Every structure is written in C-alpha cells, then in structure tokens.
Structure 1
Amino acid sequence: MNVRDYGQAVKDSFKTIVSAMAALVFAVPMVQVFINSGINAADFTSMPLALAEGISNIFGSYWPLTAPTIGAIGAFAAGSNTVSNMMFSLFQFGVADNILASPATIVALQAVGGAAGNMICVHNVVAASSSAGLIGREGSLIRKTLIPMTFYVIFAGGIGYVAINGIGMNIGTLILAAVAVFIAVFIAKGQKQNRMEDKRLKKSA
C-alpha cells in the first residue's frame, strides 16, 4: 500500500471504531444501572428480578423457547453479545429460578441468542459492509440476515426445551423435528440443482 491508501485505511478503521465506541460508552453504564437497581432507598426489587417474576408468570415452562430471542434482541440493541449477557443474565437466571428450570441451561440459551443477535448487530453489519465495499446496503443485509438468525434462535430454543423437559410429545421435540425436515429438504433441493447444473454443463460441452 502506498501512503495515501494507508491513510485512507486508517481513516476508515477509525470511523468504524468511533461508531462502536460511542455506543459502548453509554451501554456499559446503562447495564450497570440495570443490574444494580436493587440497591435503592425504597428497597425495591432490582429491574432484572422484577422482569423475571412477571415473565415467568406469563410463559411458565415454555420460557426456554423464548430465552434465546431475548439474548438476540439484547445483542442487536446493545451492539454486543457481551453487553447483552451482562444486561440479561441475571434476568434469565431469575426466570429459571422461578419456573424451577436449570439456571445454567437458561443462561446458556441467553448467550446462544446473543451470538445469533450479533448477525444483525448494526456495528457488525456496518463493519462488514465497509470491508466488503457494500456501504449503503446495511438495511438490505440486516433483512437478509434476519432469516438465519430467526432459524438459529428457534432451533436453540427447541434444544433448550428438550434439554430441560426431555424428548417426547412436546413443542421442543416438534421444533427439532421440523428443523430436521427443513434441513433435509434444503439439502435435497441443493443437490437437485447441482445435478441439473451438471447436466446443463455437459450438454453445452
């Protein structure tokens, strides 16, 4: 690289870092307020535990299906799987405790969902777009990436439900079966297209 190209690369990298830094500077203190909200003069319950109590009353034993989605939303909003886990791990632990499920499994689903949410995290999409020369197409990339992210969190939720409740006639098993059928159909369709393409190439040759 010549000096001019090197300078442009530094400039582009600096823009990406600054955009991510601005969000993290405000996200981390917000997370600390959220986590430590139980320390107050009125002795109110902390926000994560108050949310956990309300959510556990609504979803009950079906919460493992939803837990990864919360992690994904947190990563999308905060721009980081780490921040999402900092923000919602205590909440997920509280829900698990309320529904008598394994806290380790529920918190693990939170982390898995956070990783999925990184697919649509604005910072990551902007950085990838900059690297690939797709500036201005971030919205389109996020919409397309929503498909595998949704698949990811649904599949993870099904695994989590089965891990807690076991395999049987339940919604978790049905989700895993549906995912398995979808993958099989997708693979078969791809193989069929490859065979058709091979035949076309042979005819043209």
Structure 2
Amino acid sequence: MNLGIQAALALFPIALGGVLLIGFRIAAKHAMPAAYVAAVAVGFIAWQMTPSRVAAASIEGLFITFDLLFIIFGAILLLHTLERSGGVAAIKRSFHAVSDDRRVQIVIVAWLFGSFIEGAAGFGTPAAVAAPLLVALGFPAATSVMLGMMIQSMAVTFGAVGTPVLVGVQNGLGGMDFTADLTAAGLTMNDFLRLVTAKVVILHAIAGFLFPLHGWSL
C-alpha cells in the first residue's frame, strides 16, 4: 500500500465527519458515530488492527474527550458567568472606551484576548469565548465566528499551556530511531529544536502580520 492511499484512508473518517456535518447538515450525534465506525473499519481492514487494539484506542479516545470537554466546559462556564453577572456588558463598555474603531476592537478581542485564551485553555476556547464577545460588541455573527476560527489557527503552538510542544518533544522525539536520524544528519537535539523554533517563529510572524491587516477589510 503506497503512502498516498495510506494518507487517504487516514483522512477518510475525518473527511466523512466534515461532509456529514457541513455538507449534509447532519447533527453531530449522528455524524460523529458514523465517523467512528469509518475509523474502526479502516483500522480493521487497512491497518489490520486487532479488536483489543481498537478497543484500547477507543477507550483512550474517550479519556482524551473528557479532558477536552473539561477545558471547554470551563470556557463556556466563564462565558455564561460573564453574561449573567453583567461582565460582558462591562467588557463592551470598556472596549468602546478604548476605541469605537472596529478594526482596533478586532485586534484587541480576537487577536490579543483570543491568543491569551488559546494559550491558557486551548481546544476551541477562542472560538467559544471570543466570538460571543465580538457579537456583543455589535459584529455580525458570521464575521465573529470567522474571526474566532482564524485566531483558533494562530496561537496553536502555545495552546493549552504549550501542550502541543510538550507532547511533541517528550513523546514524539525520544525514540532511538529519531536520535539515529539526527546523528546521521549531523545534528544534535538542541540544533533540531532551534530549527523547529525558527520555523514556528516564521509562521507566527506571517500570521501576526496578516491578521491585523484583515481587520482593515471589515
């Protein structure tokens, strides 16, 4: 099986879930089980996984889901607490006191506050928290959601207190094969981490430059 087919099979459950949710507007409670069944079928047929491996992966997925829901629950609880206590209205007045320019408000709420929320919680919280704040400031709902999703893809390196970096460095780069590859390339781990950091800085610099410019088009 060539690499292209493997990639297509790995992508199939995710693509199926997206098509059912977005294309056919099927409820998540029906679309996600279909995507899960597709993933199990690919595991059995393509990867030749044993039932015990599939069961173990499914249980692990449940625990990961609980972690994500716990973090997102905290973000949504914070949002509703702000709404019920009048905090959203106070934030709205504060932002209007800073500037009535919507471009400035976008940079403050979506870019700065959204990046902070992504770093503190991650897992979709910028879209869950920043988008309603933008709606409260008078932005159209579609624009608010779009901006929330944009910021969702910017500060991912720092998401959930740097979880992507910690997991990648601690779990993904510790094998003997990887160390042998570094040695063959004439690199040390410090050299490799510097290269990764440089690429991350470039990506964030591009996003950080283009995102504020987008505000001028709104």
TM-score range, shorter chain: 0.5 to 0.7
Q: CA deviation at 1:147?
A: 4.7
CA drift of 1:134 comes to 6.0
**What is the TM-score when the length of structure 2 is the normalising length?**
0.50
What corresponds to 1:180 in structure 2?
none
Identify the match of residue 89 of structure 1 among 131, 136, 154: 131
Give 4+ residue runs of structure 1 displaced > 4 Å after superposition: 20-23, 134-137, 139-144
- Equivalent residue in structure 2 for 1:37, among 78, 81, 97: 81
Residue 111 (structure 1) aligned to one of 100, 124, 149:
149
Q: CA deviation at 1:93?
A: 1.6
Deviations 1:137-195 (A, max 9, x none): 8x97668634522431331121132x21xxxxxxxxxxxxxxxxxxxxxxxxxxxxxxx
Distance in structure 1 (CA, Å) of the matches to 2:157 and 2:205:
10
The letter for the 2-side match of 1:111 is M
Residue of structure 2 in register with 1:195 after alignment: none
- Mapped to 2, the partners of 1:49 and 1:134 lie a distance apart of 49
Identity, in percent, stands at: 12
Aligned 8 A contact 1:68 1:113 in 2: yes
5 Å-filtered alignment, 1:66-81, equals: 66=108, 67-80=110-123
Rounded to whole Å, the distance in 1 between the matches of 2:77 and 2:207 is: 30
Query: Contact between 1:72 and 1:116, CA under 8 Å: does it hold in 2?
Result: yes
SS in 2 for 1:60: coil
TM superposition shift of 1:105: 2.4
Change in 2 beyond 3 A, CA 1:64/1:84: closer
Q: Cα RMSD (Å) of the superposition?
A: 4.0
Q: Give the AA of the match of 1:56.
A: H
Q: Matched residues in 2 for 1:148 and 1:39: separation?
A: 35
Greater RCO (CA < 8 Å, at least 6 residues apart):
1
Does the aligned pair in 2 maintain the 1:75–1:117 contact within 8 Å? yes
- Aligned letter for 2:204? M
User: Are 2:104 and 1:56 aligned?
Assistant: no
Q: Which amino acid is 1:77 matched to?
A: A
- Pairing 1:129–2:173 present: no
Once the two structures are TM-superposed, the CA of residue 35 in structure 1 deviates from its matched residue by 2.1
Confirm whether residue 148 of structure 1 aligns to residue 203 of structure 2: yes
